[in-house]
């Protein structure tokens, strides 16, 4: 079974600075998806960024970018120019494509990192 | 474009009762999945439906069941409620493309279930 590990339960960053959230995962598959989701106190899970494992290029969405290291099974999220609205729980998630015949058991989530933005 | 709609937002039930939660996906999304979120266990996958068929099921007892209708709306049912079933239940819909490629999940705001 796949596992996702977020080793930082909580991170704090000054407004306008850059912060990196760590995520590692374990899988025997070669084709899969990785996601970062944000969950503010309103509890709505919001997709931040998505990466397909077969793509070498790191995904980027405005101030959010990832460092995808497939061999190391690492998928960190970098938030540049942090804003107060970025404060939330951030979850890293994995999903198999199911194309290797093993099925795709939905999203497997890490335990989350609570990101605090200091004004 | 309307998002994923979950009803009700809050629910209080008594042990032993049963409950049905509803999820309406984004128009055009045929895949719907359900997750349970608790402080202790985090986010756990319950099941996933595509075109009215259950594709996968997580490691939950048979008291947890679901279904999907022809319009892609989905319901999940929990019978014989236990105190430990108190959780936030999240539904997500996704657009599935050619060869089953998944373009990301959009979540609803969840149903907060409290069992007393």
pLDDT tens over chain A, length 119 residues: 789 999 999 999 999 999 999 999 999 888 899 999 999 988 889 999 999 998 888 999 999 999 999 999 999 999 999 999 999 999 999 998 766 555 556 899 999 999 999 99
List the single residue in A with minimal CA-CA distance to B102: A97
**By the 8 A CB rule, do B53 and B41 touch?**
no
Which is it for the CA torsion B56, B62, B64, B67, positive or negative? Answer: positive
- Strand order across the B74-78 sheet: B5-7, B19-24, B74-78, B64-68
What pLDDT, on a 0 to 100 scale, did the predictor assign at position B93? 94
Would an 8 Å CB–CB cutoff place A73 in contact with chain B? no
Q: Rounded to an integer, what distance in angstroms lies between the CA atom of residue A43 and that of residue B81? A: 23
Would an 8 Å CB–CB cutoff place A108 in contact with chain B? yes
- Chain A: closest CA distance from residue B104 (Å): 7
More confident residue, A96 or B18: B18
More confident residue, B102 or B9: B9
Q: Which of A42, A95, A103 sits opposite B102 (nearest CB)?
A: A95
- Chain B: closest CA distance from residue A43 (Å): 6
Over residues B51-83, the pLDDT tens digits come to 899 988 999 999 999 999 999 999 999 999 999
Would an 8 Å CB–CB cutoff place A105 in contact with chain B? yes
CA A8-A14-A18 angle, to 5 degrees, is 65
List the single residue in B with minimal CA-CA distance to A106: B45
* Cα first-last separation, chain B: 37
- Chain A: closest CA distance from residue B42 (Å): 6
Q: Do B56 and A43 touch (CB under 8 A)?
A: no
- Which one of A23, A47, A106 makes the best mutation probe of the B interface by having the most chain B beta carbons within 10 Å? A106
Q: Closest by alpha carbon to B8, among B76, B58, B62? A: B76
The arithmetic mean of pLDDT across residues B79-104, rounded, is 87
What pLDDT, on a 0 to 100 scale, did the predictor assign at position A6? 98
């Amino acid at each position: 079974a796949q596992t996702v590990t977020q080793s930082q339960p909580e991170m704090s960053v000054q407004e306008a600075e850059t912060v990196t959230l760590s995520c590692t995962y374990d899988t025997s598959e070669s084709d899969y998806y990785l996601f970062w989701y944000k969950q503010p106190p309103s509890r709505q899970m919001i997709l931040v960024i998505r990466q397909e494992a077969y793509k070498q290029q790191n995904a980027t969405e405005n101030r959010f970018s990832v460092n995808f290291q497939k061999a190391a099974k690492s998928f960190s999220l970098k938030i540049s120019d942090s804003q107060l609205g970025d404060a939330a729980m951030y979850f890293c998630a994995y999903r198999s494509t199911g194309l290797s015949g093993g099925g795709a058991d939905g999203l497997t989530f890490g335990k989350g990192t609570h990101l605090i933005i200091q004004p | 474009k309307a998002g994923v709609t979950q009803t009700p937002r809050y629910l209080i039930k008594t042990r032993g009762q049963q409950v049905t939660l509803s999820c309406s996906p984004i128009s055009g999304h045929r895949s719907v999945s359900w997750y349970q979120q608790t402080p202790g266990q985090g986010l756990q996958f319950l099941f996933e439906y595509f075109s009215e068929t259950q594709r996968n099921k997580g490691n939950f007892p048979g008291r947890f069941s679901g279904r999907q209708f022809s319009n892609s709306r989905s319901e999940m049912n929990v019978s014989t409620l236990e105190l430990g079933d108190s959780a936030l239940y999240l539904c997500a819909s996704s657009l599935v493309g050619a060869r089953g490629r998944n373009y990301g999940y959009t979540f609803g705001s969840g149903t907060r279930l409290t069992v007393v």
